[in-house]
Structure 1
Amino acid sequence: MISLLQPGYAPFIAAIGIMIMVGALEGLTLLFGFSATGHAGNLIAHHFEIDSTGTGAETGLAAQFLGWLHIGRVPFLILLVLFLTGFAVSGLLLQSIMQALFHFMLPPSIAACLALPLSLLFVRKAGKPIGRLVPQEESSALSEIDFIGRAVRVVTGEASQGNPAEARFVDEFGQAHYVRIEPDDAGQIFVRGQTVLIVTRVSGSLYRAIKSPRHEL
């Protein structure tokens, strides 16, 4: 009987542990009406300006790679579970085959490097069909141009021109969006908890805003 506690299995057992912790964190945050993985997926998609519309807009190499993995089109939680599952299964199988055939295991770092591309390929192949079977994140219902005119609330730090802060708003579908905002007026500062109005997009997830008379989102 093969023991999964052998050092060669360590990275892949850790991946299973991480998957369990991610599930627990997601369940905990959902109790408060907030998706940790959904937030992370939105931030990644906005930061790298991933084309999630399928229009073929020009993007950088990083955005193209992340788009190849369906980030921005398939819920991030599903992609993360697929990646960790593919990494754990491919690594455990690889080390088990090595042990059975050659009576030794590869060093954990080498085995992890070999399992990584297999896990990415698994995400690519399995992500799209699985994504069709589950509800899509409603963030795709709004384009970034639709953010203009929205009232958002500053949730972290202070914002000044050249020093943006993170802000949040909830759309009509009940989906939370997170953007980076800075004042349109160079002399203004937005503080945490302040409600402001987006007036223009600078680039990616960065927008400029003005003071808003609205105090609720």
Structure 2
Amino acid sequence: MLDFLGASQNVLFSAAIVLMLLIGAVQLVGFGHFDVDADADLDGDLLAWLGVGRLPLLMLLVVFLASFGIIGLIGQQASHDWLGVLQPLWIAAPVAAIAALPVTGLAARLLARILPSDFTTAVPIEDMVGRGATIVVGRAEQGSPARARVTDQFGQAHYVMVEPDTPDQVFEEGEAVLLVRQQGAGFRAITRGDHRLPYIDG
């Protein structure tokens, strides 16, 4: 099995699955978030067909990587069983990529129906400034952000990375904070008792 997965004709498919698992693991432990990538513009029917706009781009990438890797490995196994050889990567990879596109589109449509709406709402991330949030994963210190849940004006939840705005503050899990400014892909926050910005319940 390991020889099959590590064969030069299969290395790209195996790498796609490993990358998919790594991205998923990063999301689960709270060092990243889907919602930053959720604001992709639809440039046409093709992007809509592929599922862009239905799911955040990072989640869509995970679905594509899984589809590409699994289809590629299944195709190579079928080639080995039926023809006795593995197909060269320059043949197998484009075929698997093309086959993965409709699978990705179908999976995106199914996931958009199943997943909670907090994964599918496309709201500019900067609109979260001034809203209340709750630390849900980790302990936030300056230079060491934690994952927080914030609700937008439509009542939909988003998950963002937060760190204190001042070095003397520390936020624990379950603590309510106020997002005061965006910093890169994350936010600086203060405790809700501080009123530097008008409070927006979230």
Where on the TM-score scale, by shorter chain, does this alignment land: which range?
Answer: 0.5 to 0.7
Instruction: Please show how residues 21-40 of structure 1 align to structure 2 within 5 Å.
Output: none
Change (3 A) 1:176 1:38: farther
Deviation at residue 98 of structure 1 after TM alignment: 3.6
Q: Unpaired segments of 5 or more residues in structure 1?
A: 23-36, 57-68
Paired position in structure 1 for 2:124:
143
Q: In 1, are the aligned partners of 2:64 and 2:101 still within 8 Å (CA)? A: no
Residue type of the partner of 1:193?
G
Residue of structure 2 aligned with 1:53, choices 32, 35, 40: 40
Change (3 A) 1:176 1:98: same
| Deviation string, structure 1 residues 168-211 (Cα, Å, up to 9, x no partner) | 1234555331111112223222222110100100101x101111
TM-score, scaled relative to structure 1 = 0.54
Matched residues in 2 for 1:44 and 1:179: separation? 9
Paired position in structure 1 for 2:190:
210
| Deviation string, structure 1 residues 16-70 (Cα, Å, up to 9, x no partner) | xx9xxx9xxxxxxxxxxxxxx8998x71553xxx4733299xxxxxxxxxxxx86
Q: In 2, are the aligned partners of 1:152 and 1:168 still within 8 Å (CA)? A: yes
Residue type of the partner of 2:192?
S
Deviation at residue 153 of structure 1 after TM alignment: 0.9
2:190 is the alignment partner of 1:190: no
Q: In 1, are the aligned partners of 2:126 and 2:182 still within 8 Å (CA)? A: yes
Aligned length: 171
Matched residues in 2 for 1:79 and 1:91: separation? 18
SS across alignment from 2:188: strand
2:33 is the alignment partner of 1:43: yes
TM-score, scaled relative to structure 2 = 0.57
Matched residues in 2 for 1:127 and 1:96: separation? 21
SS across alignment from 1:141: coil
Paired position in structure 1 for 2:72:
90
Matched residues in 1 for 2:71 and 2:98: separation? 13
Change (3 A) 1:124 1:45: farther
Identity over the aligned pairs, expressed in percent? 27
Matched residues in 1 for 2:135 and 2:109: separation? 34
Matched residues in 2 for 1:120 and 1:175: separation? 33
Residue type of the partner of 1:208?
R
Q: Unpaired segments of 5 or more residues in structure 2?
A: 22-26, 44-49, 194-198
Change (3 A) 1:114 1:198: farther
Matched residues in 2 for 1:82 and 1:147: separation? 29
Residue type of the partner of 1:143?
P
Matched residues in 2 for 1:185 and 1:80: separation? 35
Matched residues in 1 for 2:132 and 2:60: separation? 30
SS across alignment from 2:182: strand
Q: In 2, are the aligned partners of 1:199 and 1:208 still within 8 Å (CA)? A: yes
Residue type of the partner of 1:84?
A
Residue type of the partner of 2:128?
F
Q: In 2, are the aligned partners of 1:83 and 1:122 still within 8 Å (CA)? A: no
Deviation at residue 73 of structure 1 after TM alignment: 4.9
